[in-house]
Structure 1
């Protein structure tokens, strides 16, 4: 049997040493909970070891016994932030509503913990929550005739869409905030500026789009962004249906 690395032991909360004697005042769960709270407030960069140590009333060096390294802490934080899979996803039997629910539930996670989308992707899921989410995605496709490679491909595409859609929406919102405008104002400015420089003979379809008035009539607010997200998600699910069947 292969030896389990210490970082994997900590991710899965397996014993990493003797538990004899009085329970330690500091443990992995407490450190991770504080780190996630700091990241929720200040972004991933705000969850520094000195800040975590100060919040816990300990020295930064004392944290390493429970988290191994800063990179390991990030992995622990990410797994904790994703949390358990909603029970409703496990109970859904039809693949399309199950996969749609899986995607929407992940979007909710990103909205609660925006810093997750800032983290680099370093490999396949390793922590218990991340593995549970992967398992739920595969379970959603259980009733299809897709092989394992296709199932992995589907959940990779769907999960990637959820993440990128969140990143794009957040970056746009931050840009509008910096400019002191909302989405509708930004689009009106965009249309007005582009009309001044656009050669309609060269960019005929862009010119037709601007003339349609669509960009100047898009409703403002979260409902618009949610509609865009769901439209893209249904396009992907339509593509899955071509291979997986209805």
Structure 2
């Protein structure tokens, strides 16, 4: 019997199917991926091992879209800002991936390489080792929250009845199409000033 001209199953096909499931449902199952690919679940295990391996492959996929600048590319703040913007954009493309990935230990080489670059940048800024870890954690939370904000409904808040006048004035700017981008840039600038101090 001749071999098929194209492989029936590959790691890339499995990751593609898992990502489609996460984009649609927020999670994936091994039987669901197998059914989508027209194979048995045992075939998946032969290619990728356990479910946790697929989760890390999904992280690899998302993190490979993050552009990490060279060490010579600007000062530490420029490098951190460039990573933050690219990191947010990569995860904004698949916001339902965020809750899944945050429940698993990070082992992905592209992810760890990004964190190493951030650690060196914060070290250059003069942060102490614990402050470096704190800064990375804060940046993670800020970036992933901002990625989720990009997928929020156009009208984030709907206040009925009596509301505080200051909040009412703020809500008067809800129709601004760049609200999420403006908020991200303002938050990033504030973080960089704080870390620089």
TM-score by length of 2: 0.80
Shift of 1:60: 1.4
Bigger proportion of residues as helix: 1
- The runs of 5 or more residues in structure 2 that have no matched partner are 1-6
Shift of 1:91: 4.6
Aligned to 2:26: 44
Aligned to 2:182: 227
RMSD in angstroms over aligned alpha carbons? Answer: 2.8
Matched, 1:194 2:162: yes
Q: 1:208 to 1:89 in 2, by over 3 A?
A: farther
Choose which of 185, 193, 209 in structure 1 pairs with 2:166.
209
- The runs of 5 or more residues in structure 1 that have no matched partner are 1-23, 177-181, 196-206
Shift of 1:124: 5.2
CA distance in 1, matches of 2:172, 2:25: 34
Aligned to 2:81: 100
Instruction: Look at both structures and tell me which one has the larger radius of gyration over its CA atoms.
Output: 1
Q: 1:220 to 1:132 in 2, by over 3 A?
A: same
| Alpha carbons 1:165, 1:229 under 8 Å: kept | yes
CA distance in 2, matches of 1:115, 1:89: 30
Q: Deviations over 1:66-110 (max 9, x none)?
A: 222223322221222221541546552301111111111111011
Q: 1:60 to 1:237 in 2, by over 3 A?
A: same
Choose which of 149, 161, 168 in structure 1 pairs with 2:142.
161
Q: How many residues align?
A: 192
Moved beyond 6 Å, runs of 4+: none
| Alpha carbons 1:79, 1:130 under 8 Å: kept | yes
